Structure 1
Amino acid sequence: MSKKKKYNDTEEWFSLIPELKEWNNGKGIDHEYWIEIEGRIEYALAYTSIFWPKFILFRNCIFIDYMNDEIFERWHKNCNGSLEALEATVNHRHLEDWFGGESTKRQMEYMGRTLKDIWETKLNKQFPGRQVIVELFEVNEEYKITVYQKNH
């Protein structure tokens, strides 16, 4: 751990991770120091599946990680033949499933915006030229994110 303090927007990090303020007898700790002390490679590795998911192309549709003919046909029928609706439905994820529990609205908004930016970057890199939409939305105080192609 380097001796120089690395305070990067500390007040914002303190509001997102209140535990940071409790360190050093209430003086607080920088979020990067906290990661150096508390972080685990196993968690970081597992989070890569959320932050940089495997997107696949199946029947000209983009899906997160997996799709097969049986699932595709069932959802295609349920979505009245709309490929955009099929992608959006199959690809939607609830942020609370990953980060729920004691999460605050501010934490979920920050995580959702960050995840949306990362997914957009990944999809633009992996599928250049396709008009892929990453949508973050809130329904009944629950945050969801989805991916679909515009103008199928």
Structure 2
Amino acid sequence: MEYYGYKDIDLIPELLDWKKLNGDSFSVEEWGDAHLTPELIIGFSHIYFPKFAKFENGVFFANSIPNLKKQRESGEWKNLDTIELQYLFNHQHLLDYFVGMMGESYDKISRKQLECVGKILVDIWGMKLRSDFPDLNLHIELQGLDSEGYLEDIVVVFWAE
């Protein structure tokens, strides 16, 4: 079965064992139902549905606004225009979401998995940004996919013009 253009077992290798037990039609959704807890959904909500806010005619992660104001007031980044500032503050390295795996090895994360996570975030954040700011010309992109072997370079970035 395909999910976001990838084979489901390439994204969730454990799914193969579940399919052996439950039949080949066992889906990503069913696997998710078997693993999700209220705590995980609540914990991940800040990733999938972050709060966004307007600042200087741009859109930013709301939690970055206090630091952004402080940096602007101190004169740091005074030469950056709003689009450059948005790119600086609004690019999210996907590998950073898996910092809890540092005790393990990042090599357990595949390029396909990160690309899929990126595509999901582009879809969800795009819908939320357009809902929150229907009057703005918004852009959201998954970048760094052409970076050979460097998963650290895969980012989702958004900005308003």
The match for 1:44 among 41, 44, 55 is 41
- The answer to whether the aligner puts 1:18 opposite 2:13 as a matched pair is yes
State the AA in 1 paired with 2:96: D
The match for 1:35 among 32, 35, 38 is 32
Note the 1:27-106 alignment, pairs <5 A.
27=23, 29-66=26-63, 67-68=65-66, 69-73=69-73, 77-78=76-77, 80-99=79-98, 101=106, 102-106=108-112
Q: TM-score, normalised by structure 2?
A: 0.76
Distance 1:128 1:9, change over 3 A: same
Taking the aligned partners of 1:53 and 1:44, their CA distance within structure 2 comes to 13
Identity %: 27
Q: TM-score, normalised by structure 1?
A: 0.80
- The answer to whether the aligner puts 1:141 opposite 2:140 as a matched pair is no
Higher helix share: 2
Q: Which has the higher contact order (CA 8 A, sep 6+)?
A: 2
Bigger Cα displacement from structure 2, 28-37 vs 43-52:
28-37
Gaps of 5+ in 2: 100-105
> For the aligned residues, what is the CA RMSD?
2.4
Q: How many residues align?
A: 142
Taking the aligned partners of 2:143 and 2:78, their CA distance within structure 1 comes to 20
Bigger Cα displacement from structure 2, 122-131 vs 132-141:
132-141
